[in-house]
Amino acid sequence: MNITNSNLDAAAPEVSASPSNFIRDIIVEDLKTGRYNRVHTRFPPEPNGYLHIGHAKAICLSFGLAAEFGGQTNLRFDDTNPSKEDLEYVQSIIEDVSWMGFDWEDRLFYASDYFDQLYEWAVQLIKAGKAYVDDLSADEIRQYRGTLTQPGKESPYRKRPVEENLQLFERMRAGEFPDGSRTLRAKIDMASPNLNMRDPVIYRILHAEHHRTGAKWCIYPMYDFAHGQSDSIEKITHSICTLEFEDHRPLYNWFVEQLGIFHPRQIEFDRLNLTYTLMSKRKLLALVEKGLVRGWDDPRMPTLAGIRRRGYTPQAIRNFVTAIGVSKTNGMIELAMLEHFIREDLNKRALRVMGVLHPLRVVIDNYPEGQAEEMNAINNPEDESAGSRKVPFSRVLYIEQDDFRENPPKQFYRLSPGREVRLRYGYFITCTGVVKNDAGEVVEVHCTYDPATRGGNAPDGRKVKSTIHWVSAAHALDAEVRLYENLFTTEDPNDVPEGQDFTANLNPNSLQVLTHCKLEPSLAHATAGSRYQFERLGYFSVDPDSKAGQPVFNRTVALKDTWQKIEKRSAASPLKTTS
């Protein structure tokens, strides 16, 4: 298969005036000079784990840039290691990319689709004297490889005759040799300053069942051999990778040049790294396998499945990725910045409701027993089209325990003995007394209400300093609420004392389960994945564990936006520099 750039290209697309970055500038230049007359990208995950928030950046770049230039994007699974791959991962990745809002149409591919072609290309390299079968063990290959400061040493099998290499490679394919006994290596340069060019292994023996090809193969191409050629087969013009693949680019180029096939252009960009967050699939898998989280979709996990379950929106993630941009230097992004974009998006779309997480019973003594009325409540002040709803009000209510203090400190303006507050959408109430249990804890608060203040305003113009939320006890919906904090206690989870691993930084308080929460009855039929703002408390999403009449809510994010405050403070008082 010989493919050149020119025989694949049509007229160049129009270039838009979108905000630029260095990758986009490269694409614009390639179109301008005629290197390519189209844009075709791909997103090529390995199906050895679930995608995480770091992958979201690559997804948005590959699909977004192609769409901007009227091009196409493939979804391809680089499934070259059956010992670590699983159909579960394939299905989860398909779901995640679709959830992010991107469509690969009919362009779903697998590296395993190309195993026959890759084998033929390996044979072509052997015939050209560019590859050989090596009997060195994996440990011996590492020893012969050399170091960053010392050149490698040639294998004693490097000068095998072409015919012998062909015969041995065919016998490897036939399953005559055990795992690890032989490899096929490219013959490049054992003295190269780039270790990837020191006769890399391109095929290894692995008697393992593949999730797509079954037992057809017992030799499998290495990722570095399959990746670039898969791009070439799919006629990818711009192969967008993270920076760790920069040193692999010369090897990819060497393969396509030796084979005389279509040459994609690889461009590397910085990885997305977040504080308090792990981006290693291997370590995330360890958390799952050790039972330290509830699974890949645990809402504390940075996987797309996890943050989707927690209540994050794809639009918020896309906005975040756009805001952080791309560069050629790896850095660290504050988790608070991501949470800012989640709040910003949910503020526009989430319906407001009232829920009490730590209930304290309130009895309004002068409110008629047995009476109930409906209060008009706004669904979303950011969206008039969201309308309003009716919230039941009665003599006995629940409020948050933190909204009452028997002996209030200074600057506490919520409910306390003798103090008047406003009930959201309800009445003014004044505390007249409390009931305590045997331990001296307040378990019930007694109040009076002013009937003239219905809706939250006093006709005489008097003001109160606090408004609190509530739920009618007679109508309250019992619910479980799961409060999530950072999974790790340190900004860099990998920063651990000698002799310990990253699990030493796990946050023992990353999950708090509240089982006696009281919610307004409008949430009785809330469906899994629905998102709400619990007024004054934060944004919450309905968990799939919910059952009819027994909802479970995950806290997506609290209302407090620390990143926005930091940004405003930085803008008001920029850092001084000295020369």
Of 160, 281, 300, 310, the catalytic one is: 281
pTM: 0.91
CA atoms lying within 13 Å on the CB side of residue 387: 2
Name the residue ranges covered by the structural domains of the chain: 6-269, 271-350+476-579, 355-469
Reply yes or no on whether the pLDDT at 16 is more than 50.
no
Q: Which whole number is the average pLDDT over 437-461?
A: 95
Predicted pLDDT at 20: 76
> Taking a C-beta distance cutoff of 8 angstroms, is the pair 520, 276 a contact?
no
Q: pLDDT band for position 8 (50/70/90)?
A: very low
Q: What percent of the chain has pLDDT over 90?
A: 92
Reduced DSSP (H G I as helix, E B as strand, rest coil) percent helix, strand, coil of the chain, to 5: 30, 25, 45
Q: What is the pLDDT of residues 22-40, one digit of tens each?
A: 999 999 999 999 999 999 9
Reply yes or no on whether the pLDDT at 568 is more than 80.
no
CATH class of 271-350+476-579: mainly beta
β strands within 180-245, DSSP E: 183-186, 201-205, 219-221, 238-242
Predicted pLDDT at 111: 98
Domain 6-269 falls in which CATH fold?
Rossmann fold (3.40.50)
Radius of gyration of the chain from its Cα atoms, rounded to whole angstroms: 31
433 vs 569: which has the higher pLDDT:
433
- Known catalytic residue at 344: no
Q: What is the pLDDT of residues 385-409, one digit of tens each?
A: 999 999 999 999 999 999 999 999 9
DSSP state letter for 368:
P
Q: What is the pLDDT of residues 106-139, one digit of tens each?
A: 999 999 999 999 999 999 999 999 999 999 999 9
Q: Which whole number is the average pLDDT over 313-318?
A: 98
Closest CA to 503 of 332, 303, 282, 309: 282
Give residues with Cβ within 8 angstroms of 409, minimum separation 6: none
Token representation of residue 310: 């927690």
Token representation of residue 200: 């890399």
- Check whether domain 355-469 has CATH 3.50.50.60, yes or no: no
Distance CA 365, CA 435 (A): 13
Q: Identical fold at 271-350+476-579 and 355-469?
A: yes
- Across the chain, what does the average pLDDT equal? 94
Of 107, 158, 271, 389, the catalytic one is: 271
Of 46, 85, 234, 520, the catalytic one is: 46
- Known catalytic residue at 216: no
Give me the DSSP letters along 258-309: HHT----EEEEEPPP-BTT----HHHHHHHHHTTSSS-TT-TTS-BHHHHHH
CA atoms lying within 13 Å on the CB side of residue 422: 15
CA atoms lying within 13 Å on the CB side of residue 379: 14
Reply yes or no on whether the pLDDT at 11 is more than 50.
no
- Known catalytic residue at 300: no
